[in-house]
Amino acid sequence: MVLMPSVDLSDFDPAHRDRVREEIGRACRVWGAFHVTGHCVPSGLLERVKVIGRVFFEDFSTEEKLNYACDGSSSAT
């Protein structure tokens, strides 16, 4: 089994910034995604985001989802 790359942000200080940036760039070029560890985001918030994402992708119709689509001028694209 091949696992998605993981990037540890716990040592993200100026001395390690270039290494972390390269890890993220490589993961995005090869996989298109990466798993983040050492981020200090509270587990309760992560769980809430998972629940909301699941509701969005499983319960919303395509038409409802398109209400949240980004256009080409958005900084989110």
- Chain segment 38-67, per-residue pLDDT in tens: 999 999 999 999 999 999 999 999 999 999
CA 58 to chain centroid: 19
Confidence of residue 77 (pLDDT cuts 50, 70, 90): low
Residue whose tokens read 């080409």: 72
Percent of the chain having pLDDT more than 70? 95
Residue type present at position 5: P
Nearest Cα residue to 36 out of 46, 16, 53: 46
Q: In whole angstroms, what is the distance from residue 59 CA to residue 62 CA?
A: 10
10/34: higher pLDDT:
34
What is the number of other CB atoms lying within 10 angstroms of the CB of residue 16? Answer: 14
Average pLDDT of the residues in 14-34: 92
From the CA atom positions of the chain, what is the Rg in Å?
16
Q: Has residue 35 got a pLDDT over 60?
A: yes
